[in-house]
């Protein structure tokens, strides 16, 4: 978290047209805001619990769960299903009696490894099915094995082929003077060598408001950007929203944003030339992640051979 130097109380401005206000410049009679968890997580996902819905297990939406679970969790599920299926078929072979040649009578271990050989269709060595009942089970298990392999391979392919944007968001936003206007800024960086074509950014202010009827609700305000489209996004991009009288942030202070539990949501879309697909990224900032009066440190430098370079070690640094 960058170091913040607060504005001295004597210099705090509390007029409606002011944007840079320190904590000491609170409006008289304003109660301290009640601390509560943020509504949006830093990755832009929702942090709201859902009540009154029927509990849905893995079987209700198994495809979604298998696509979104972590890789260790995914392989744990696949391995568990594989072992469970082989164990069930091994019990079925044992229930039929002595139907596996060269297997020890009543041996679950031999029946299990016979099931593994059958499901994997790797061919038999010492263990061989005997009789029509055992061969019928072998036929069914071989079919289940081929279908299971196809499903597992498809899931792995679907997980691998989901493109990611590879976009880095600044850890904080800043509000600083730019071309004579207070401007909200944040920046993005392309972490890959390949370019993102036709990139677009959408910035939204989310805050609690009270309607004329006294109803409390969350409202989404689209914030106008000086440049919301980039034909080629290859290095970094500073997103800027001028805070003028047309802006929903006009006249807001750090204190009023806390009282309305305001958050900023950044949505990024573009076409990745390596994947030949559209990619998406999002990030959310709480009102406490807005540095008033700060500015981003320049991340561009020049190499000894004269080439321009992007120094990501300074990407999150903010100067006062």
Does 62-161 match 167-319 in CATH topology?
no
Residue 42 has pLDDT above 90, yes or no: no
Residue 15 has pLDDT above 90, yes or no: no
pTM of the model: 0.71
Task: Quickly name the fold that domain 167-319 has.
Answer: Immunoglobulin-like (2.60.40)
Distance of CA 207 to the CA centre of its chain: 21
Calpha distance 115→109 (Å, rounded): 10
Domain residues of the chain, as ranges? 62-161, 167-319
Task: Quickly name the fold that domain 62-161 has.
Answer: Helix Hairpins (1.10.287)
Q: Residue 30's pLDDT is what?
A: 37
Q: Residue 58's pLDDT is what?
A: 58
Instruction: For residue 186, count other CB atoms closer than 10 A to its CB.
Output: 24
Residue 121 counted as an annotated binding residue: yes
Tell me the CA end-to-end span of the chain in Å, nearest whole number. 14
Q: Residue 108's pLDDT is what?
A: 93
Residue 279: which residues within 8 A CB-CB, separation 6 or more? 163, 164, 165, 166, 196, 269, 270, 271, 272
Residue 230 has pLDDT above 80, yes or no: yes
Band (222; pLDDT cuts 50, 70, 90)? very high
Reduce the DSSP state of residue 180 to 3 states and report it: coil
Q: Residue 173's pLDDT is what?
A: 94
Residue 286 has pLDDT above 70, yes or no: yes
Band (274; pLDDT cuts 50, 70, 90)? confident
- Of 15 and 37, which is predicted with more confidence? 37
- Of 319 and 242, which is predicted with more confidence? 242
């Amino acid at each position: 978290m960058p170091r913040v130097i607060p504005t001295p109380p004597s210099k705090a401005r509390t007029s409606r047209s002011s944007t840079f206000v320190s904590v000491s410049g609170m409006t008289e009679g304003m109660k301290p805001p009640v601390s509560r968890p943020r509504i949006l997580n830093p990755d832009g996902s929702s942090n709201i619990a859902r009540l009154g819905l029927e509990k849905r297990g893995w079987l209700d939406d198994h495809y979604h769960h298998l696509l979104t679970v972590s890789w260790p969790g995914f392989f744990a599920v696949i391995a568990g299903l594989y072992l469970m299926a082989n164990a069930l078929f091994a019990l079925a072979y044992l229930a039929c009696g002595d139907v596996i040649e060269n297997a020890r009578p009543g041996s679950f271990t031999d029946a299990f490894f016979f099931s593994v050989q059958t499901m994997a269709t790797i061919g038999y060595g010492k263990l061989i099915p005997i009789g029509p009942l055992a061969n019928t089970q072998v036929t069914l298990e071989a079919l289940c094995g081929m279908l299971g392999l196809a499903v597992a391979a498809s899931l792995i392919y679907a997980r691998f082929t989901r493109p990611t944007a590879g976009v880095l968001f600044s850890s904080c936003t800043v509000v600083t003077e730019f071309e004579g206007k207070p401007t909200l800024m944040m920046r993005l960086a392309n972490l890959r060598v390949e370019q993102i074509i036709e990139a677009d950014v959408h910035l939204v202010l989310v805050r609690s408001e009270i309607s004329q009827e006294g109803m409390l609700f969350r409202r989404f305000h689209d914030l106008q950007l000086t440049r919301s489209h980039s034909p080629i996004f290859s290095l970094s991009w500073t997103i800027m929203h001028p805070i003028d009288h047309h802006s929903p942030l006009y006249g807001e202070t750090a204190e009023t944003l806390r009282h309305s539990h305001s958050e900023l949501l950044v949505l990024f879309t573009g076409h990745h030339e390596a994947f030949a697909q559209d990619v998406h990224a999002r990030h959310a900032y709480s009102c406490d992640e807005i540095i008033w009066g700060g500015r981003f440190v320049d991340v561009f430098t020049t190499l000894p051979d004269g080439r321009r370079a992007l120094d990501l070690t300074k990407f999150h640094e903010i100067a006062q």
